[in-house]
Chains A and B, each alone.
Chain A
Amino acid sequence: MDYGLFFIQALNGLQLGLLLFLVASGLTLVFGILDFVNLAHGSLYMLGAFICASLTFALGNYILALIVALPIAGLLGYGVERVIARPLYARNHLDHVLGTFGVILVLDTLAHMIWGPAGIAVPLPNWLNGQIVLGGTLAIPSFRLLIIAMGLATAAGLFWLVNYTRLGMLIRAGASNRTMVAALGVDIQLLFGLVFALGAMLAGLAGMLIAPITEASIGMGNSIIITAFVVIIVGGIGSMKGAFIAALLIGMIDTMGRSFLDNIFGLVMSPTAAETSAPAVSAMLIYIIMAVVLALRPQGLFPPKVR
């Protein structure tokens, strides 16, 4: 075993996990408090990437674009909440799934019409384009380290928000007992709108962070949204801690599976067969874990205490 490679892959897994956490945390907030299944959360991730990409070219600086794009993503989220989500709160989950499935189709096509099919490559400032040498031959692209740092900072911020602020108190209370919060005279409409906007900002931030790596592209949200759902289901809906742990777990499994599973498979099958099946099996592993967790704990790993 090459320990240097293992270490680098662990960092890559951490980076992927934190990115997943950014998407999943918004989803779990909306889900936990509003009891609303938002499949279109991935589209907000995509919009974040596109808006940030356009702004990077308009403003000439990625960091500046990111700062400007964040509130825009929040506003978009608020808009979606107003127009689509609010009339659906009273409905069942099936209507949520179908309605937001429609939102995905609409937003994806709008993105296609506005930005074209090509996708946008986002240029980074020079200081982010290099690598950071961690000693010896170990090096990691500096931008990936920035993603890790931003992810950890956001996670810390969210924990502070949820555990030590009035908004957080309401959020926790809402996740456990919605009617109670409403009965306490809190403006539940405003709270819901804020939570939705916060979720959209988190998803948008994830999109903005991945854009310089993979480009902003249409349909990018649809590949991450299902994984994000797996994260919050495994973690327990509404639980920020659960989402964090599950996101890191799944990011790690995916990365490790992609890098080492083919070697393991290669021991028992032909190289091509191993190459073909390893990525699929590591993708399958995520769902197997989810099924096992739900079979043993039907409410996920960390279900909110009172429901």
Chain B
Amino acid sequence: MALRHWITLAVLVLLAVMPPVFIWMGNPFYVDLATRLVILGIAATSLNLILGYGGLISFGHAAFVGIGAYAVGIPAYHMLYGGGEAVASFNGMFQIPLAVAVSALFALITGAICLRTKGVYFIMITMAFAQMVYYFFISIEEYGADDGLVIDMRSQLPFIELDEPLQLYFFCYASLIAALLIVRTIANSRFGMVLQGAKGNNERMVTLGYNTYLYKLTAYVISGAMAGYAGALLGNFTTFISPEMMDWSRSGELMFMVILGGAATTLGPLMGSAVFIIIEEVLSNYTIYWHLPFGLMLIAVVLFARGGLMGVIGRGRDGK
């Protein structure tokens, strides 16, 4: 236990200290890498709530991220180019809540349908809804369709200047800490216990008088809203959004981050996204064929490293 806590602390401190060091060393690109890592860490953490603790294998989580990003891009687009007065805004106090609200609503509607199914049908129907959003944005000519949309102005927030790489980074970092705390609190609450109970044995929880469908739906909505928030950050970070970010392979990558780090652990998804991004960066520097070693690593992790990194570090996979 102690080791795990030390590692947790070390990772979080490292993430807080390294970016200013990168700037000081004249390596702003590594700050970009760290920002991407932290944002994907939030998205993976949100997925962990339903996948890790709830056992709900969502293969469409990238859709929430994409919706969140478009909730930043579309208001900014209208603010610059006119039209859509109702949403036109550069104000982050409007854009970010919009991202959370729309993705929560999308999660509520699709979750209500998806949760009627089980097993592999659930995997595939979540993917189907993500593909629908993907093609939906491809079909909208005004927002760039396949070409994507450049966000010319980042969200305007009081006291924080998102155009400053370090301020943007620490805004994301603070959001990450909040996301980790939220998921941890939920997981350890009575609500989380019911959720994990339903993952192990749904019938038993139903017999005990819990409406597990409602519990799962609530978790699904919270998870979707958090992923939407991560999407709003991602839009502000990349200043470019396209349907591509909702492609099914992106959802697969998020799943991989959770599993790689360790599902149903607080820090696992963050560790997973860190390792994912670092390995991707290192390998793609060496060869354009980097997908080959990457794929082999993925297979190896699935075959041999059960419980992910956190499992290897010292805690067995729970719930099973």
Contact = CB atoms under 8 A, between A and B. Distances in A.
Touch A–B, Cβ below 8 Å: yes
Contact of A280 (B127, B135, B255): B135
Contacts of A98: 252, 255-256, 259, 298, 301-302
A281 B135 contact: yes
Contacts of B303: 87-88, 99
Contacts of B145: 276, 280
B190 to A, nearest CB: 26
A103 B141 contact: no
Interface stretch (B9-17, B33-41, B77-85, B288-296): B288-296
Contacts, number: 134
Interface string B114-137: 001111110111011101100110
B interface, by DSSP: helix, strand, loop or mixed? Answer: helix
Size class of the contact patch on chain B = 35 or more
Interface in A184-241: 222, 226, 229-230, 233, 237
Given A97-B59, A102-B295, A273-B141, A291 B136 contact: no
B57 interface: yes
Contacts of B131: 226, 284, 287
A273 B140 CA distance: 8
B295 A284 contact: no
21 contacts: A37-B120, A93-B120, A94-B259, A95-B302, A97-B57, A98-B252, A98-B256, A98-B259, A105-B292, A105-B294, A106-B299, A226-B127, A233-B124, A233-B128, A273-B141, A280-B145, A283-B135, A290-B125, A291-B113, A291-B129, A298-B121
4 closest A-B pairs by CB: A105-B295, A102-B298, A280-B139, A106-B295
Interface of B: 51, 57, 59, 113, 116-121, 123-125, 127-129, 131-132, 135-136, 138-141, 145, 248-249, 252, 255-256, 259, 289, 291-292, 294-299, 301-303
Given A95-B259, A280-B139, A280-B145, 5 more contacts: A93-B119, A94-B259, A105-B294, A280-B135, A294-B124
